[in-house]
Chain A
Amino acid sequence: DQQVKQNSPSLSVQEGRISILNCDYTNSMFDYFLWYKKYPAEGPTFLISISSIKDKNEDGRFTVFLNKSAKHLSLHIVPSQPGDSAVYFCAASAHGAGSYQLTFGKGTKLSVIP
């Protein structure tokens, strides 16, 4: 049973517009969430994270929103740039339960069109 779900396999956005990538989770023990970006032929790179004690975390063009009651988080990229074209993975862990294991979603491929 998938505990972290990214229901959109792909997303296309015009350059300069907002990209919104969504992620849902089912495990209520998850208390720390991360987004990774992956280019072809490279390993995933950490992008941004959020603890469950917050509902928003911002880093430059990237903002992650967490809605605990809905078990939903989203990554906003504003403005989107062609270099943002990559596969984005959502991940979660249960630090409060003593686990540092990351559970990943299947990824969303973002294409930013110039």
Chain B
Amino acid sequence: EAQVTQNPRYLITVTGKKLTVTCSQNMNHEYMSWYRQDPGLGLRQIYYSMNVEVTDKGDVPEGYKVSRKEKRNFPLILESPSPNQTSLYFCASSLIREGRNEQFFGPGTRLTVL
């Protein structure tokens, strides 16, 4: 089954404790992206990757890191989480085709930073 998986689905942590949210896709997609969803703000892009070893900042990259060592994986790293990073996070992937970019989303990771 074609899918984007994220782990963990739920996480409660404390300020300053490094964490990683994993994202994996089995569709051989070049493009992968991380978003956060906050009440009243919709979906905002954190980082994206056009292919292996190619990553770039989205609209809200502060406090986050990513890596793309393999095509299928795109982990999101919070080196020192803070309460303002409490949010619902989505990973997405898509093929890069001229004129089209329908992104497939994972189920989400709800993160609470105390």
- The count of residues in chain A whose C-beta lies closer than 8 Å to any C-beta of chain B is 24
List 19 extra interface pairs beyond A45-B105, A51-B99, CB under 8 A: A6-B42, A34-B102, A36-B105, A43-B106, A43-B107, A43-B108, A44-B105, A46-B102, A91-B43, A100-B31, A100-B50, A100-B96, A100-B101, A101-B45, A101-B48, A101-B58, A103-B45, A103-B59, A104-B43
CB distance from A63 to the nearest CB of B (A): 17
Range, interface on chain B: 20 to 34
Does any Cβ of B come within 8 Å of A49's Cβ?
A: yes
Cross-chain contact A46 with B104 (CB below 8 angstroms): yes
Complex-state Cα separation, A25 to B26, whole angstroms: 33
Interface of B is mostly: strand
| Contacts A89-B43, A100-B94, A104-B42 given; does A42 touch B102 at CB 8 Å | no
Interchain CA distance A63-B42 in the complex, whole Å = 23
A107 CA to B40 CA in the complex, in Å?
Answer: 8
Whether A95 lies near B105 (C-beta < 8 A) is no
Q: Which of A41, A95, A106 contacts B101 (CB 8 A)?
A: A95
Pick from B4, B44, B98, B101: contact of A104, CB below 8 A.
B44
Nearest neighbor of B50 in chain A, beta-carbon distance:
A100
Question: Chain A residues in contact with chain B, CB under 8 A?
Answer: 6, 32, 34, 36, 41-46, 49, 51, 89, 91, 93, 95, 100-107
Contact between chains at A42 and B108 (CB < 8 Å): yes
**A36 vs B43: C-alpha distance in the bound complex, in angstroms?**
11
A84 CB, nearest partner CB in chain B, Å: 18
Contact check: which of B59, B90, B94, B101 meets A43 at CB < 8 Å? B90
22 A-B pairs whose Cβ atoms sit less than 8 Å apart in the complex? A6-B42, A32-B99, A41-B107, A42-B107, A42-B108, A43-B4, A43-B90, A43-B108, A46-B102, A49-B100, A51-B99, A89-B42, A95-B100, A100-B31, A100-B94, A100-B96, A101-B45, A101-B48, A101-B58, A102-B101, A104-B43, A105-B42
Report B77-92 CB contacts with A as 1/0, cut-off 8 Å: 0000000000000101
